[in-house]
Amino acid sequence: MKAHQIIPETELWSVLDSSKIQTYLDCGRKYLFEHVLGWRRAEGSDLHKEFGTAAHAAMEVLMTEGYTAAACTKAFDIFLRHYRQFFPAEADELNKPKTPENFLRALAQYCLRYAPADASLKVLHVEVAGTVPLAPDKAIYFKMDTIARGEQGFLSLEHKTSSRFSDLWEADWRQKVQTGTYNHVLYCLFPPNEVYGVIINGIFLHEPPRIKRNGEPYADAKDNEFHRIPVRMTPEQMEGWRVDVLSYMADIERDHVRLQLVDEGDPQMPAFRRNRQSCTRYGVCPYLNICSTTQNPLSVAAKPPAIFEISHWDPRNIPTVKERMTLT
């Protein structure tokens, strides 16, 4: 049977956002499993996903209500309400350093650190999503944490939680499709000469630093860290980004066309090719076992293995979104 007889076509194939495009760039075969077949791991909750969702909800409170003690208390309550739906207190020891205790400490430290710098920050939008055009017949979906006006101009403050800061983590944001999309939205909303750009608002969780008996921290002691990474793009750089993203979209469309020519009995699949250097880039790829042993995924596409469920990511339907925009 051909692909169209095995894989139910969905309009989501043409709904592209930064996340889906980045997955395609990382590995076309991973894109096939995740966004064409819609296979996702079924067991358990994802710590990083749910912690990040809870942290974003907490940061929304600070962005809209200020860096006060009352706002911190409310933010933590909202964080905990979401987090505890997935992870009981008994799991905190296993989830270190991403624990409620460390995040509570981080909230207070964040407010102390950034209250003076953000005093003049005027938040215009939080948790906003929508579409922004790339060409007359092409648009990309987006979701942004914060759109604000600061002393530098209009900016996007995007919250990211992690447990390890490095030069590699910082550099990785400079060329991502995602940060280009954020900048593109700003340029579409505001006069170009008033756009500052994107700031990646990094919050890095650590266990409380070890203290000597004399009250001094050990030499290797490290408390929670905060790093803001500016990712600014000129109009010329934005045009380069736009051309690249349109090219990526065209590649995805071509792979969908090629996929329709494949039969389940074919020994190989000349569509959505594998990137063999990406299998362990962000941990072990969940599709590694089946990808490395099955040369034509159509032969197994009718029914996912037991460890997967079918769940398609839809950037048009994000529960945390507070406001939607359709930019033209």
CATH class of domain segment(s) 1-328 = alpha beta
Bond before 297 cis per omega within 30 degrees: no
Residue of 315, 317, 311, 283 whose CA lies nearest to 39:
311
Identify the pLDDT of residue 4: 85
Enumerate long-range contacts of 274-283, CB under 8 Å, 24 or more apart: 274/27, 274/28, 274/29, 275/26, 275/27, 275/28, 275/29, 275/30, 278/26, 278/27, 278/30, 279/27, 281/26, 282/26
Sign of the four-CA dihedral 119, 105, 169, 172: negative
Identify the pLDDT of residue 238: 98
Number of Cβ within a 10 Å radius of residue 289: 12
Identify the pLDDT of residue 220: 72
The string of DSSP codes covering 100-149 is HHHHHHHHHHHHHHHTTTTTT-EEEEEEEEEEEEEETTEEEEEEEEEEEE
Give the Å distances, CA to CA, from 144 to 87, 186, 189, 231.
26, 10, 13, 14
Indicate the domain borders of the chain.
Answer: 1-328
Could you write out the three-class secondary structure of 33-98? HHHHCCEEECCCCCHHHHHHHHHHHHHHHHHHHCCCHHHHHHHHHHHHHHHCCCCCHHHHHHHCCC
Per-residue burial over 97-120, b if 16 or more Cβ lie within 10 Å, else e, is bbbbebbbbbbeebbeebeeebee
Residue of 33, 32, 3 whose CA lies nearest to 252:
32
Per-residue pLDDT of the chain (328 residues; tens, 9 = 90+): 888 899 988 999 999 999 999 999 999 999 999 999 999 988 767 999 999 999 999 999 999 999 999 999 999 999 999 999 999 999 999 999 999 999 999 999 999 999 999 999 999 999 999 999 999 999 999 999 999 999 999 999 999 999 999 999 999 999 999 999 999 999 999 999 999 999 999 999 999 988 877 777 777 778 999 999 999 999 999 999 999 999 999 999 999 999 999 999 999 999 999 999 999 987 899 999 999 999 999 999 998 998 999 999 999 999 999 999 999 8
CB 311 within 8 A of CB 40: yes
Residue of 44, 38, 45, 13 whose CA lies nearest to 303:
38
Q: Are strands 153-162 and 195-204 parallel, antiparallel or unpaired?
A: parallel
